[in-house]
């Protein structure tokens, strides 16, 4: 298997166009999986992101750049906004960070003295935000440990040895007494006299939720003053099966104060809880607090900054029995509990959050000037017994003065005119349409009108796929699902091609070698060889002396070639787009599916340095086309891709992305409803609504809110796919 190729595909399938450097750890994989499982609660449009995120789970490359794991949701005023950081505040915070700082070398010196194995490791700074720097300790090129420290005080916030420890068995761990002795010795060496103010509370076996970090013996300590425990002033030391320190974490003063303020709204977040885990994430910290014994419970929190705002909270279930005992509240009871909780947490600002569905608890959206503020949401789950089971919010909110005045927006009529000008036709070969009969699901091709070919239309969109800018009245498109950029490119030219009468066939290693020799002039006799089978496809793969991929991919059942590739010649970038695109179009007809008569350009990937997202070469992706109308299979992916070496101008790779390779008879396009009637039908179910956007079409946070018109269905269509049949003029929702 071409690991680089599959990493790039996994990232692209996550709809991330602009990622320049992405590396995944096993821990990242499992955290994504956990985030997906949590995001399924009434998160309507975001439900459809689960498939894209899940594509990342196939990635097994080693990585270091970790991001925030819980999608950001809304924050309010009062308790949380007392700590809220606006975009301006963030700049001020970052400016302060450029004043006198403790260097990484200075900060980590006490840790190296306490753990001799760290003494020869070099330090790399991965990220610094809100005064906390995330360091990686490297042994050669291998990442051995993560350290987070306060750049103003030099205090170590957390330390963890890297590595997947999930295979270790609890029986191999040291005894509680042995672990306590090791932890005490570490604290004395690390904190010196400061360790004397901490009292040992409990030693417990800890394994994180996704079994990545543990198990280890978690030795827990509580700071005492005048014989009394200081609320949330706790730390812990994790001792592994080798009787060595695997983890250290503490709650700093900002975190202690913040958690203390939260206890009124979240009584399960009690000062009696112990710190089990702590780590730096994208713009804040993640914590696990609690106890692992039967009498205790555990909570997971993610905070923004250094105690500025709460991003997420979760009451963890240790086992299925405990999960079953926490039945979710429903109906009016849930609504009352959620409102009481929001009032405690947000105070008067809670009135600015309204239920997305007045009859359905759990998801609240901020309103400003009576307009929805998209992406500024709060998600809540409460239990039948009144506990908060789950909570998420957007930690970075805007000040009222930052919202543009509604009077500056163009009229709805002008927005509708812009929509009409961009309504276009698209064939979808295999949409899932539920007929009225009871025969089950039926697959049939459709010709539809759509404002955006690069996306499947869903009810009540969030504006990040496409929207009409209310400032100038112009439509703005995002990069489509899986990086599809057809709408952004705005190229309507169809390229006629003469497809082969039958597929090129490869049924053996020798035939694969012969094809590579004929197509690329490559001899593979001295390269490492392997075969792989997955998802009905077979690969004949060689790796050259530089471990670069050379291979042929076929349909396992028929031997039909659906992919082949070779390395680029060097790192130079001298070939212009026109030359590269001409080479791609000349090569394409050799390997497309028989019967294809035309294609349209759907995506152009620029050349440059290779990374996990891009091979660094010119890459052109194409949709099938009929009579100048783009043709898609069921999903929003291109049909074919051709890669061109930017130094030589020669084709190096071809990929056939189609899930099915049969061609179906498509509806004729000569007898369809007019565009005007199509727009009328569309607006009946998807009227344009004036809203505030917090994010741009790439999902990035805006410097200030933006007025925009977005399609806004009623609640019943919010989670459904919307198709406008161009032949009948009828709307199909499924």
Give the tens place of pLDDT for each residue, 157-189: 999 998 644 444 445 899 999 999 999 999 999
CB 674 within 8 A of CB 596: no
Q: Is the pLDDT of residue 68 over 90?
A: no
276 vs 41, residue with greater confidence: 276
CB 216 within 8 A of CB 210: no
Question: Which of 9-13, 159-163, 520-524 has maximum average pLDDT?
Answer: 520-524
439 vs 423, residue with greater confidence: 423
| 320 band by pLDDT with thresholds 50, 70 and 90 | low
Q: Is the pLDDT of residue 3 over 80?
A: no
Give the tens place of pLDDT for each residue, 248-269: 999 999 999 999 999 999 999 9
pLDDT at 65: 29
Mean pLDDT of 534-556: 92
For the record, the structure tokens of 154 come out as: 């030099």
pLDDT at 84: 40
| 61 band by pLDDT with thresholds 50, 70 and 90 | very low
CA distance 52 to 68: 17
Peptide bond into 79 cis (omega under 30): no
Q: Is the pLDDT of residue 49 over 90?
A: no
| 58 band by pLDDT with thresholds 50, 70 and 90 | very low
pLDDT at 318: 67
CA angle 237, 241, 243 (to 5 degrees): 55
pLDDT at 259: 95
659 vs 533, residue with greater confidence: 533
**For strand 561-565 and strand 598-605, is the pairing parallel, antiparallel, or unpaired?**
unpaired
Give the tens place of pLDDT for each residue, 473-488: 999 999 876 788 999 9
pLDDT at 491: 82
What percent of the chain clears pLDDT 70, i.e. is strictly above it? 82
CA angle 353, 51, 33 (to 5 degrees): 80
Give the tens place of pLDDT for each residue, 640-658: 999 999 999 999 999 999 9
pLDDT at 452: 94
Neighbours of 619 (CB within 10 A): 22
275: part of which helix (H) or strand (E)?
strand 274-280
Distances (CA, A) of 327 to 73, 147, 320, 323, 332: 24, 38, 12, 8, 15
What would the DSSP string read from start to end of 308-360? TEEEEEEEE-SSHHHHHHSPBP-HHHHHHHHHHHHHHHHGGGGGGEEEEETTE
For the record, the structure tokens of 371 come out as: 């307009």
Give the tens place of pLDDT for each residue, 84-111: 434 444 444 444 444 568 999 999 999 9
């Amino acid at each position: 298997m071409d690991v680089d190729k599959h990493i790039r595909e996994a990232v692209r399938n996550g709809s991330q166009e602009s990622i320049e450097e992405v590396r995944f750890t096993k821990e990242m994989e499992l955290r994504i999986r956990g985030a997906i499982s949590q995001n399924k609660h009434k998160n309507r449009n975001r439900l459809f992101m689960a498939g894209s995120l899940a594509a990342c789970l196939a990635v097994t490359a080693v990585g270091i750049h970790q991001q925030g794991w819980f999608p950001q949701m809304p924050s309010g005023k009062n308790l949380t906004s007392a700590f809220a950081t606006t975009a301006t505040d963030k700049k001020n915070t970052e400016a302060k960070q450029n004043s006198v700082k403790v260097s990484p070398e200075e900060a980590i010196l006490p840790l190296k003295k306490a753990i001799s194995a760290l003494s020869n490791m070099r330090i790399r700074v991965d990220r610094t935000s809100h005064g906390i720097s995330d360091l990686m300790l490297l042994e050669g090129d291998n990442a051995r440990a993560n350290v987070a420290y306060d750049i103003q005080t030099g205090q170590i916030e957390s330390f963890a040895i890297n590595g997947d420890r999930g295979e270790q068995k609890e029986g191999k761990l040291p005894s509680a007494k042995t672990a306590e002795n090791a932890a005490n010795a570490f604290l004395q060496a690390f904190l010196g006299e400061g360790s004397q103010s901490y009292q040992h509370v409990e030693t417990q076996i800890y394994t994180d939720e996704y079994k990545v970090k543990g198990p280890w013996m978690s030795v827990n300590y509580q700071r005492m003053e005048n014989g009394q425990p200081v609320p949330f002033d706790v730390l812990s030391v994790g001792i592994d099966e080798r009787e060595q320190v695997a983890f250290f974490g503490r709650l700093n003063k900002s975190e202690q104060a913040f958690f203390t303020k939260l206890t009124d709204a979240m009584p399960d977040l009690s000062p009696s809880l112990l710190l089990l885990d702590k780590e730096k994430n994208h713009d804040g910290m993640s914590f696990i607090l609690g106890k692992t014994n039967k009498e205790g419970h555990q909570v997971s929190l993610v905070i923004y900054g250094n105690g500025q705002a709460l991003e997420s909270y979760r009451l963890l279930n240790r086992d299925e029995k405990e999960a079953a005992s926490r039945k979710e509240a429903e109906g009016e009871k849930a609504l009352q509990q959620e409102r009481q909780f929001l009032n405690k947490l947000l105070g008067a600002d809670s009135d600015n959050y309204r239920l997305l569905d007045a009859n359905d608890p759990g998801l609240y959206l901020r309103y400003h000037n009576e307009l929805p503020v998209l992406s500024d949401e709060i998600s809540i789950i409460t239990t039948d017994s009144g506990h908060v089971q789950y909570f998420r919010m957007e930690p970075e909110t805007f000040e009222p003065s930052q919202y543009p005045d509604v009077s500056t927006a163009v009229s709805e009529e002008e927005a509708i005119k812009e929509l009409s000008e961009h309504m276009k036709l698209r064939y979808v070969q295999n949409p899932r349409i539920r007929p009225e009969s009871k025969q089950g699901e039926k697959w049939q091709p459709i010709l539809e009108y759509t404002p955006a070919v690069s996306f499947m239309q869903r009810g009540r969109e969030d504006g990040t796929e496409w929207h009409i800018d209310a400032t100038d009245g112009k439509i703005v498109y995002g990069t489509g699902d899986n990086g599809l950029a057809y709408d952004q490119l705005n190229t309507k030219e169809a390229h006629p091609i003469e497809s082969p009468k039958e597929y090129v066939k490869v049924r053996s290693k020798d035939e694969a070698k012969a094809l590579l020799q004929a197509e690329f002039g490559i001899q593979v006799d001295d390269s490492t060889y392997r075969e792989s089978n997955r998802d009905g496809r077979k690969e004949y793969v060689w790796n050259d002396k530089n471990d670069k991929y050379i291979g042929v991919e076929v349909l396992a059942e028929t031997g039909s070639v659906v992919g082949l590739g070779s390395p680029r010649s060097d790192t130079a970038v001298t070939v212009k787009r026109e030359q590269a695109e001409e080479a791609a179009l000349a090569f394409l007809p050799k390997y497309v599916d028989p019967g294809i008569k035309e294609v349209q350009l759907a995506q152009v990937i620029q050349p440059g340095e290779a990374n996990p997202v891009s091979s660094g070469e010119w890459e052109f992706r194409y949709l099938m086309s009929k009579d100048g109308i783009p043709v898609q299979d069921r999903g929003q992916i291109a049909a074919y891709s051709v890669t061109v070496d930017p130094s030589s101008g020669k084709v190096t790779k071809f990929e056939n992305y189609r899930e099915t390779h049969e061609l179906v008879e498509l509806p004729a396009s000569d007898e369809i409803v007019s565009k005007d009637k199509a727009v009328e039908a569309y607006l009946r179910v998807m009227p344009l609504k004036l809203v505030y956007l917090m994010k741009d079409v790439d999902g990035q946070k805006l410097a200030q809110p933006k007025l925009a018109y977005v399609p806004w269905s009623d609640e019943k269509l919010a989670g459904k796919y919307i198709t406008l049949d161009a032949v009948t003029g009828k709307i199909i929702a499924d």
